[in-house]
A and B are shown apart, each in its own frame.
Chain A
Amino acid sequence: MAEIPRYSGPFGVPQAERLLWRAGFGPRRGEAAQLAKLGLDGAVLSLTRPAGEKWVGPPPRDEKGRRLAPGDAYGHDHLWWLDRMVRTSRPLVERMTLNWHDWFATSNSGVGSQQLMMAQNRLLRRFSLGSFRKLLIAITANPAMLLWLSGIDNRKDAPNENYGRELMELFTLGEGNGYTERDVREQARALTGWTSTWKRGKGRTDFRFDPKRHDPGMKVIFGKKGTFSWRDSVALTLRHPKHPPFFVEKLWSYFVPEPPSATTRAGLEALYRASFEVRPVLEAILRHPALYTGPRMVKPPVVYTAGLLRGLGRGVDTRSWVWLSENAGQRLFYPPNVAGWDDERWLDTNSFHGRWGIANTALEKFTLGDKNSKNVKVPNDPEAIVKGALALLGNPTIRPETRKELLAFARGSLAGATGWKAEAYPPLVANAVRQLLAVSPDLQTC
C-alpha cells in the first residue's frame, strides 16, 4: 500500500487554529491552545472520534427570545443549523454534515418542506463519519432527494433520468467519467419504483417503493447485464473502478485547496477501497502535511459566520443571519443547484459586501460609544485599541502587515482628534478596527 505522508513539523497554536477551521468552524477563545497540547494525533482523534455532544453557550433564540421552529418557521432551518455549528463540541461531525449537504446538494426550493429537509439533515449527520456505502443507499431512498431529483416521478412506463444521471455525474464518478448516455437511461430504469402520497394539509408523505412502478426488465449498466434494482444501481456505481479516485479527490478538496500527489491519492484510494468507510480517509487527510503547510482556503460564508460567533462567544439570537448569509452566497438548505456551492468562487465584490454585513452584525452587541456602552472608556491609544479588537475576536493569528495597517488607521484617525473629538473618537476608531479586522483577508481565509 502506498505510504501516505504525515505532517511532522511543529504542532502549535497556528496549526491547531488551521485544523479547527478546516475540520470545523474555528476555535472558541483559548481552544486552539488546548488542542495544540494534545499534539497532532491527539488533536485529529479528538475530532474524528469525539465524545458525546455537549452544547457550549446559550441556546438559540429569535430576537424576541422565542425558541426556534426549524421544521416550520421560515429561516429557522438555517438558524437551527448555524446554532449547532456555533455550540457543538463535535465540530467535524457538523462540518462533514455540511460537506455532505454540498456533495448531495438538495435544495428546499425543489423539495418544499423544511420537515423533509431536516430529516435529510439528520441522515447526513448520522453517516457523517461513517460508511459512504450506507450513506449512498440512504440518500438514494431519502424523501427530500426523491422529490429534488424526480425519483418519485421515475416509473416503469415513464423513466426520468434526473437522479440516475446525477448519481454518476456528481455523487460517485464525475462527469462522463466511465459511463455513457445509455448507462444514464439504464440507471434510470433500474431506479424506477419510488412513489409517495399527497395528503391535504400534510403535503407529500408515505414515501415507499412500489414494485408495480418498477421496471424489472433486463438492463445493461457499465457493460453488465441483469434485471437490476435500485440497490443494484447503487452497488454497481460504488464498485465502478472510477469511483474511489473520484471519492478521494472530492473529499480531499473540502480540506486542502490543491490536488493530492499521486502517492497520496493512491494511499487514500487503498484506504477507502478497503471498507468504503469515511473516517480512516479523513484521519489521513487531517494528518497530511499539505493541510498544514499548503496555501490558505477561503472560508465558506456559514463557516465564517459560525467562526466569528464562536470567537466572540455570542450565540444565535437574531433571524438576520438568514438574509445575511444569503447575501454572502450561502443559504443553508438552499444550495444553488445539485452540484452544490462553487467553492472556487466564494469571494467577489458582492459576497465581500455580504461578509461585511455579517461582520457588522456579529459585532453589533459589542459596539462602543452608543447608549448600551456608556460606561466603557476607550483609551486614546492606537496600540491598545488594536490589541482590544484582537482580544474581542479571540486573538486570531494575523499577518504583521495586517496589524500594521490597522495600527496606521487607528493612529491616523486619532492624530487629528482634538477638542470634542479627543473624547468622541476613540470608540469610533475601536469599532472600525474590529470591523476591519473581521473582514481582513487574514480572517476571510484559514
Chain B
Amino acid sequence: MGCCDEHSRAELIRRGIAEAGRGLPSIEAGMPTPAGTGLSRRSFVAKSVGLALAVYGGSGLRPQLFDEGIAAATAAGENTKVLVSVFLDGGADSLSMLFPADDPDYLALRPRLALPASSGTPFAEDSRLYWHPSLQPFAQLHGEGKVSVMPGIGYDHPNQSHFTSRHFSEVGAADERLTTGWLGRYLDRVGSPDNPLQGLSLDWSLQPSLATAKMPIAAIDSPDRYDFWARGVWGDVHERMIATIGRLGTLPTHGDPGLRQATDATRQSSQLYRQLTPFRGKDEKKGFSSPVAYPESDDRFPNRLAGLAAMLAAGMPLRVVAMSAPGGYDTHDDQANDLAEGLKLTADSLLAFQRDLEARGLADRVLVHVWSEFGRRAKENGSNGTDHGAAGAGFLIGSRVKGQMIGEFPGVKQLDEDGNLRATADYRGLYSAILEDWLGADAEAIIPGARKFKRPAILR
C-alpha cells in the first residue's frame, strides 16, 4: 500500500467533507485498491450528508447500513478528529519520567533510584527537570512543539488503589458506581448504531474508558487478523455462515443481561468483520504496509500503532481509540530496569507513529493522550521500588498540540499527608478540554460537574 495512494484517498475524503452540500466529489474509477488485499473497491453516495465514499470489498454488505454508519462518522469536519488513549498500566513513576536531578530533597527521597542529570535530556520548560533516558523520543517531539507535558496531573483526595484510581480515570469522575467510560459517553452522544469501529480498543480486551451504554464499539488485537475461518467450510457456505453469525446476533434476549452480552458481542463481531475486510492479509501477510519503520518487538504495541495509522489512511471511521502501553508500571521492586524497558518501547513506538502520520498527511487529525492511574510515592521503598502515590505525569502528543506544560511540576518539598506529589492539574479539566477543543463535544453532558474544572489550553 503506497503512502501516496492512501494520502490522496485521505485527501479526497477531506475534500469531500469540505465540499459537503456543494455537490459531490466523484470517486474516479481508476482509484487504486489497497495493495495486497485483492479486493475491489465499491463506491456509493452517502445520501445523508451528500458525500461520495469508497468502501473496500465487503460484497455481502448492505450499502444502506454502511452508508449510515460512515456518513454519521464523517458528517462534520471536526468529527474526523481522532483521539488515541495510551494507558501506562500500574501507576507510572512521574519522578523518573521527568526527574529533578539536582534537587537535594529528591536525592534524599530516592537514595538508590535517583537518576543522574547526565543520563537525561534537560526539559526546556523547567530547568529543574530532565527527561528519562528512555523518553528521548518525547524530548525530541517536545523540541518540535508536539508534546504538552502534564507534570502533576491528578485530583483532590487521591485514592491509592490501582483499581479505584484507574476507574476514576476511565469513567472521568471520582465515582465508583459509574459504569460507562468517559469516551464511551462521548460515543453515546455522537456515535452511530452501525459502526463498531468508532470506539476501537486495540487490545486483547475492551479498554473500559470506551465502555458505552448504547453504541457498539470494537476490540481487536490487530486489524489484519480478524477472520472467521472454520475447518472444512468454504465457498458460499462460508459466506452464508458469516451471515448467520450476524443473525444469531440479532435474536431477542428477553431482557436477560448475560444473553444480551453474548448476543451483542456476536452481532458486533460480524459488523466488524465486514468493516475490516480490506485489512485481512492473505496467507499470513499483513493487510497493510507502513511508510516508516516501527520498533521490532514481541510486544504487539508497535504493530498495533502501525495498523492504526493504516486504518486511518484507509478512511476507516474511527473516533476514539484506546490501548495499553507495553511494560509494567507497578514498580514496587526493581524499578529502574522495568521502567526503562517499558518506557523505551512505548516512546520509540509513539515516535514512529507520529512520523507515520506525518508521512501520510494525517498528523493534523490525531491527538495521542498518554496517562497512568497515579504517580508513585516520592520516597522510595526498601525494595528498589516505589509504592502507590497520587499525582503523576501525563502527555499529549500530536502536530496540533500547544506544546506547553499543563500545570506545573509540584516539586518534592511540599508533599501531601501520605508523602505523595500534589496535583497541579485536574484530569477532568483535561478531559473537558479534549472533548470541547479537540472532539467538538459538550463536556458538560459527558463529564459530571465539568463546569467546576479549569480547562487547560491544549491546542495551538
Q: Are A428 and B244 in contact (CB under 8 A)?
A: no
Residues of A within 8 A of B245 (CB): 436, 439
* A412 x B257 contact (CB < 8 A): no
| Contact in complex: A401, B251 (CB < 8 Å) | yes
B-chain residues with CB within 8 Å of residue A425 when the two chains form the complex: 237
Q: Chain A residues with Cβ under 8 A from B74's Cβ?
A: none
B44 interfacial contact with A, CB 8 Å? no
Inter-chain contact B244/A295, CB cutoff 8 Å: no
Give bound CA distance, A360 to B245, whole Å. Answer: 14
> Does B333 have its Cβ within 8 Å of any Cβ on chain A?
yes
Q: Is the CB of B333 within 8 A of A257?
A: no
> How many angstroms from the CA of A170 to the CA of B163 in the assembled complex?
10
- Give the Cβ gap from B323 to chain A, nearest Cβ, in Å: 12
Q: Taking the nearest CB of chain A, how far is it from the CB of B337, in angstroms?
A: 14
A349 with B268: CB separation less than 8 A: yes
The complex places the Cα of A275 from the Cα of B310 at a distance, in Å, of: 60
Q: Does the CB pair B332–A413 fall under 8 Å? A: no
B203 at the interface (CB under 8 A from A): yes
List the A side residues contacting B217 at CB < 8 Å: 348
Known: A350-B221, A370-B232. A181 touches B418 (CB 8 A): yes
Q: How far is the CA of A98 from the CA of B162 in the complex (A)?
A: 23
How many chain A residues touch B (Cβ–Cβ < 8 Å)? 71
Whether the Cβ atoms of A298 and B240 lie closer than 8 Å is no
Q: What residues of chain B lie closer than 8 Å to A342, measured between beta carbons?
A: 205
Which of B234, B251, B328, B385: most chain A CB closer than 10 A? B251
* Interface residues as binary, B77-99 with A (CB distance below 8 Å gives 1, 0 otherwise): 00000000000010000000000
CB distance from B278 to the nearest CB of A (A): 17
A50 → chain B, closest Cβ, in Å?
27
A396-435 near B? 1/0 per residue, CB < 8 Å: 0001011001101100110010000000010111011001
Contact B248 A157 (CB under 8 A): no
Q: Across the A-B interface, how many residue pairs have beta carbons closer than 8 Å?
A: 198
Given contact pairs A439-B245, A440-B248, A347 touches B233 in the complex (Cβ within 8 A): no
Residues from chain A with Cβ under 8 Å of B251 in the complex? 399, 401-402, 405, 441
Residue B290 interfacial (CB < 8 Å): no
Which of B9-17, B101-109, B223-231 contacts its partner? B223-231
User: Are A427 and B161 touching (Cβ within 8 A)?
Assistant: no
0/1 interface trace, chain A 268-292, chain B, CB 8 Å (1 if under):
0000000000000000000000000
The contact string, 1 if C-beta is below 8 Å from chain A, for chain B 370-383, is 00000000000111
Once the chains bind, are A165 and B161 in contact (CB under 8 Å)?
A: yes
Q: Which of B230, B249, B258, B272 contacts A257 (CB 8 A)?
A: B258
Instruction: Decide yes or no whether B121 CB sits under 8 A from chain A.
Output: no
Cα separation A409 to B244 with both chains bound (whole Å): 7
B interface residues, Cβ below 8 angstroms from A: 89, 159-164, 176, 196, 201, 203-206, 208, 211, 217-221, 226, 228-238, 240-241, 244-245, 247-249, 251-253, 256-259, 261-266, 268-269, 272, 328, 332-333, 381-383, 385, 387-388, 418
Question: 6 smallest A-B Cβ distances: which pairs?
Answer: A158-B382, A153-B383, A296-B258, A441-B262, A431-B232, A347-B265
A residues engaging B (CB < 8 A)? 109, 150, 153-155, 157-162, 165, 169-170, 175-176, 181, 184, 257, 295-298, 326-327, 329, 336-339, 342, 345-353, 356, 360, 363-364, 367-370, 399, 401-402, 405-406, 408-409, 412-413, 416, 425, 427-429, 431-432, 435-436, 439-441, 444-445
Beyond A296-B256, A352-B268, 15 additional pairs, beta carbon < 8 A: A160-B381, A339-B163, A347-B261, A347-B264, A348-B217, A348-B219, A351-B205, A353-B269, A356-B269, A367-B232, A401-B251, A402-B251, A413-B237, A427-B232, A439-B266
